[in-house]
Chain A
């Protein structure tokens, strides 16, 4: 199952692999996923790349039992919204026992496989999260 076309994934590969987002120097706001225009000052902003540490906390989550297409073999999996310590929020998976997840828990990033385009197709990697202090 193709989860995304190769060029579409490749364009944002660095952002996905290394949690590279952007920063508006004028407003001092941080963006992940990256934005090329600051929603606060719009045209006036000066945007630069910024690498996030990935430390953050879990804002909310769910345990997915009926998977998205291409994720069927991963169920049940924990999907959450993570607030990075620099401010922005993102959606990712939390790798742990669903019983151990709670709102407000601290998380750290890990480099993981997201999915695969069939037996011999492209493998997609990206950033997932684990409870802070978990051994991985």
Chain B
């Protein structure tokens, strides 16, 4: 198996982009990443694109071919392009498929992208599309919403470990603080614990400010074999681990409601592959679709002891400059959550941090970073570890 490096990256702006279409966004991200890598189109061997629900959000399937076409890679070059889907983990999974292609030796230059255009439908329709990531037949039919499922995780976490609404809110406050320095972030406004607690209740105990938003956006990275990465860039970022795990589709079938066993398993596999432990990670982008999800994530990945993710966040240990900076990009909460793009955006944040290009969000001396991308209420988890050093 060959070592793989990321040689180019590009995010579009994340937010409500009424004037831009799904294909506009993808082309901007793809062309930008290829430009960042200094690669010509003729060199591209294949593409993988994460997209959760083009069918429901823009009534468009066959996303792989569409993107190859509008990127100018279809009509003359016939570059193979594959759509990958695992709900909100679609982006992370597209990256993983791209890494497979390069590592195997089948392909050299590969684009891994992710995209979602969520504001072309009313928000109720968007919520309904997202709910399809849970078990439609046995959760959705009973009136379960996505915030509702994570609210049940939060309620149990509070009951078992004494986690408080203030601790949940501190995740959102921190992520908005980080997001103000991210040029692509959807929300740069600052919030306080009080404003989170005063915001409307969506599903008790989760307020609207505990939830990530609906977002349009696309992200893309260019992958290459590590052996030739320096031909394209002075700062290739190396993939040290790619790991994925599954769990039951329905929350009610889990071993423990407050642990995402798929994230634990993917994390363990990633640490093993990279020959690293949690203490070796300098920063992580985790899947904070809801504030409770970040608390579970830092526990599942070994940054916090089980049950202590809330207090650790409240104590500021996950801020930039502290013990383990989490979601320096602003996370899903402040940067936005175009579901198919999120897994790729997380990797781009780590690349920018490890290159030392993160501006006011920069984690000093960052050498090793992790991404954690979750599908549904935890049925798919994808974890990657990246390093400046091969």
Mark A residues whose CB is within 8 Å of B: 3-4, 8-9, 12, 16, 33, 59-69, 71, 74, 77, 79-81, 88-93, 98, 103, 114, 124, 126, 128
Contacts and interface: CB of A to CB of B under 8 A. Distances in A.
B136 A79 contact: no
A36 B200 CA distance: 42
B194 interface: no
Contacts of B205: 62
Interface string B147-159: 1100111111001
Nearest to B200: A65
Contact of A126 (B125, B141, B156): B141
B257 to A, nearest CB: 6
Interface residues of chain B: helix, strand, loop or mixed (majority): helix
B203 A60 contact: no
B144 A79 contact: yes
Interface in B345-384: none
Interface of B: 124-125, 127-128, 131, 135-145, 147-148, 151-156, 159, 200-206, 250-253, 257
Contacts of A128: 142
Given A12-B137, A59-B156, A91-B139, A64 B145 contact: yes
Contacts of B201: 63, 65
Nearest to A63: B204
B157 to A, nearest CB: 9
A60 B159 contact: yes
A64 B137 contact: no
21 contacts: A3-B141, A33-B137, A60-B159, A62-B151, A62-B155, A62-B205, A64-B143, A64-B145, A64-B151, A64-B203, A66-B127, A66-B202, A80-B152, A81-B251, A90-B252, A91-B144, A93-B142, A93-B143, A98-B204, A103-B156, A114-B141
The 9 lowest CB-CB distance pairs between A and B, nearest first, are A62-B151, A60-B156, A89-B252, A63-B204, A71-B143, A33-B138, A69-B128, A60-B152, A81-B252
Interface centre among B128, B142, B201, B252 (most CB of A within 10 A): B142
